[in-house]
């Protein structure tokens, strides 16, 4: 609990056997009421390791029978968290790429009532390259972020972090099922949040690139980048009032409710 809010941490997992325990142990004690790990058909012993750790942590384990992709994994995560009556849902990758010790900083942005969405930014500060982020990914990140800020009218330091938290209202409002099952899901969700008028805050978090940490290839990065450009253009056209993608239908209703 935090400010009387039930906090659930979702862990979208794929081959996280070696890093899961360390990730859970470094989450500040007493902040998270329930962990939900969704295994996306791992080829290692992630599920068995999670079941073992469920004796030490309040951890629920869900296993996909087929690999549904990163976005598909998140859809299951958020549905499960809402079913458990979460007030705040924070996503933490169990590969230890993001700093678990800063989880409470993210949830505080939302439990305070100031923000609806909180992001752990690798770009704020100077830790991205020091943490081992490949130079091409750093440059890719900066260029895509600048382009997207310009098109949709935001001022975020990055859209591509996997460390993020959402209020229950955000997850109930956004039309997540229409989004991609691939990595661009993250970006689509943030554009939806912005279009709906939800307030997005950021905190600086260090990043860690090492052998066990998950990372997509250059080819997948290019595919992701094309998806980001497409999503940015959809947001831009929405701003102009000339085209509303079905992705924004539920968010359009949210805007009307606020006005």
Please compute the mean of the pLDDT values over residues 12-32 and round it to a whole number: 97
CATH 3.40.50.1400 applies to domain 7-258? no
pLDDT at 148: 95
pLDDT band at 256 (very low <50, low <70, confident <90, very high): low
Where does the pLDDT of residue 73 fall: very low under 50, low under 70, confident under 90, or very high at 90 and above?
Answer: very high
221's tokens: 């990065």
The proportion of the chain whose per-residue pLDDT surpasses 90, expressed as a percent, equals 75
pLDDT, residue 133, reads 76
Burial 10-49 (b: 16+ CB within 10 A, else e): bbbbbbbbbbbbebbeebeeebbbbbbbbbbebeeebbeb
Listed by start position, the domains of the chain span 7-258
pLDDT of residue 114: 97
Going edge to edge, which strands form the sheet with 117-121? 59-63, 34-39, 7-13, 88-91, 164-167, 117-121, 200-204
What's the length of the chain?
Answer: 259
In angstroms, the CA 177 to CA 247 distance is 9
pTM for the predicted model, two decimal places? 0.90
- Average pLDDT on 76-93 reads 98
Instruction: Tell me the pLDDT of the chain averaged across its residues.
Output: 91
- The pLDDT of residue 210 is 55
Position 255 confidence tier, pLDDT thresholds 50, 70, 90: low
Q: What is the pLDDT confidence band of residue 39, given thresholds at 50, 70 and 90?
A: very high
- How confident is residue 37, by pLDDT bands cut at 50, 70 and 90? very high
């Amino acid at each position: 609990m935090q400010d009387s809010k039930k906090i659930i941490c979702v862990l979208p997992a794929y081959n996280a056997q070696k890093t899961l325990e360390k990730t859970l142990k470094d989450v500040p004690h007493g902040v998270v009421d329930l962990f939900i790990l969704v295994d996306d058909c791992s080829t290692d012993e992630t599920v068995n390791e999670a079941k073992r750790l469920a004796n030490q942590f309040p951890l629920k384990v869900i296993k996909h029978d087929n690999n549904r992709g990163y976005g598909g994994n998140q859809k299951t995560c958020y549905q499960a968290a809402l079913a458990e009556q979460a007030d705040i849902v924070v996503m933490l990758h169990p590969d230890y790429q993001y700093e678990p010790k800063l989880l409470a900083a993210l949830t505080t942005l939302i439990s305070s009532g100031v923000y609806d969405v909180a992001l752990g930014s690798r770009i704020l500060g100077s830790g991205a390259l020091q943490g081992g982020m490949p130079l091409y990914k750093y440059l890719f990140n900066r260029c895509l972020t600048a382009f997207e800020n310009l098109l949709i009218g935001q001022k975020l330091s990055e859209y591509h972090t996997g460390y993020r938290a959402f209020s229950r209202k955000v997850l109930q409002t956004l039309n997540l099922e229409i989004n991609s099952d691939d990595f661009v899901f993250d970006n689509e969700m943030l554009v939806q949040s912005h279009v709906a008028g939800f307030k997005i805050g950021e905190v600086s978090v260090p990043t860690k690139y090492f052998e066990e940490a998950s990372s997509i290839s250059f080819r997948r990065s290019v595919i992701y980048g094309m998806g980001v450009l497409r999503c940015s253009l959809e947001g831009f056209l929405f701003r102009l009032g000339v085209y509303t993608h079905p992705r924004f239908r539920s968010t359009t209703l949210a805007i009307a409710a606020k006005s």
